[in-house]
Amino acid sequence: MHDVIIIGAGPAGLSTAFWCDDLRLDTLVLEHAEQVGGQLHRVYNPIENYLGLKARNGQELLEHFTKDVDSADFDLWTQVDIESVDLRARRISLRSGEDLQSIAIVIEPELDQENWECRARKSLSARE
Q: What is the pLDDT of residues 27-40, one digit of tens each?
A: 999 998 888 888 87
Q: Does residue 126 lie in a domain region? A: no
Domain around 83: 2-119
Q: Does residue 111 lie in a domain region? A: yes
1 by DSSP, 3-state: which? Answer: coil
Domain count, the chain: 1
89 by DSSP, 3-state: which? Answer: coil
What span, in angstroms and rounded, lies between the C-alpha atoms of 83 and 26? 22
% of the chain surpassing 70 pLDDT: 85
Looking at residue 7, what is its pLDDT? 93
Does pLDDT of 96 surpass 90? yes
Q: Does residue 128 lie in a domain region? A: no
Q: Does residue 124 lie in a domain region? A: no
Cβ neighbours of residue 111 closer than 8 Å, sequence gap 6 or more = 39, 117, 118
Q: Does residue 127 lie in a domain region? A: no
CB atoms < 10 A from the CB of 2, how many?
20
pTM of the model: 0.79
CATH number at residue 108: 3.50.50.60
Q: What is the DSSP string of 6-66?
A: EE--SHHHHHHHHHHHHTT--EEEE-SSSSS-GGGGG--S-EEEETTEEESSHHHHHHHHH
The 10s digit of each residue's pLDDT in 68-86 is: 888 899 999 999 999 889 9
